[in-house]
Chain A
Amino acid sequence: MNKKGAEELLINVINITLIGMILVIFIAWISGLATGKISQSEVLSKEIALLIDAAKPETSLFITHDSGEISLNSATKEILVSIGENEFSYDYFSKYKVSIQKINETSSIIKIEQ
């Protein structure tokens, strides 16, 4: 291979590598968005907040989730869900006493009492 041919090959390789890298980043980013990994914490916290709001006293809610942690701030009436780096909190308006009990890494019990 002559010098010019080698240079053109190198340019093409750099081009393809660059486009390939961008494509991989895009696919990873879109996959994260489409599978809902980023919005999982948002959906979970909102679902739990709605369940707490709708629940009558002396109700126990058994929550199971794939990953992350659920915590509750009864002072501000907020439910906080952390999944990896994503955190989302949502406030509930139930007037009853709400408490959370962690069973294991993937499940918790939320109790609504008078």
Chain B
Amino acid sequence: MSKKAQITGETIIWVYRFVIIGLISLSLVIIIGNKYAEKYDIRPAESIILTEKIIDCIKNSSDIDMNFMSSCLNLPNIKDYYINITMIPDSNYNKSVIIGNSDLKVMCNILNSGKTKSAKSPACSYSDYFIFFDNQKFSVKLETDIGKYEKNLK
């Protein structure tokens, strides 16, 4: 084998080695990085705390409306939340208060229908409570949806 052919052959082998090492390294970085890039999603815990705050607000007021709930909860970034409070007493009358970003409700409805899956999905929480107020029993249905995608999802 000539000297020139030997050098060319060795160069090809070196390039081949670098490509192989590069590919293995890249795939390891992608696989491991992807695994550890997942953030801790604390929105379900936040949702439970927020629900308790809402109940506290309702318990302390004879009448609830959007302004009262907004000032009582005093949420910092309202676009990250969707809250739907429906109070149903024993009579036929019922009252609903909605505050926050209604896009989150739309997203939750779509996700709950199971028609689609999204990487950026809100944390949707539904709960039912009974509150006794002025000798009247109220059934309270709560929907609390939290966005906060950037801080909780990768």
Contact = CB atoms under 8 A, between A and B. Distances in A.
B19 interface: no
B45 interface: yes
B40 A46 contact: yes
B44 to A, nearest CB: 11
A46 B42 contact: yes
A19 B21 contact: yes
Counting contact residues on chain A (CB < 8 A from B), the size range is 20 to 34
B21 A22 contact: yes
Counting contact residues on chain B (CB < 8 A from A), the size range is 20 to 34
Nearest to B24: A22
B28 A93 contact: no
A76 B77 CA distance: 9
A3 to B, nearest CB: 12
B17 interface: yes
Interface of A is mostly: helix
Interface in B31-62: 32, 36, 39-40, 42, 45-46, 49-50, 52-53
Contacts of B114: none
Contacts of A39: 36, 39-40
B49 A50 contact: yes
Contacts of B40: 39, 42-43, 46
Interface in A1-27: 11, 15, 18-19, 22, 26
Contacts of B9: none
Contact of A50 (B39, B45, B53, B72): B45
A61 interface: no
B21 A53 contact: no
A38 B40 CA distance: 13
Nearest to A46: B42
5 contacts: A39-B36, A46-B40, A50-B46, A53-B53, A93-B46
Interface of B: 10, 17, 21, 25, 28, 32, 36, 39-40, 42, 45-46, 49-50, 52-53, 72-77, 151
Given A54-B52, A77-B76, A90-B151, 11 more contacts: A19-B21, A39-B36, A39-B39, A42-B39, A49-B42, A50-B49, A53-B50, A53-B53, A54-B49, A93-B53, A95-B72
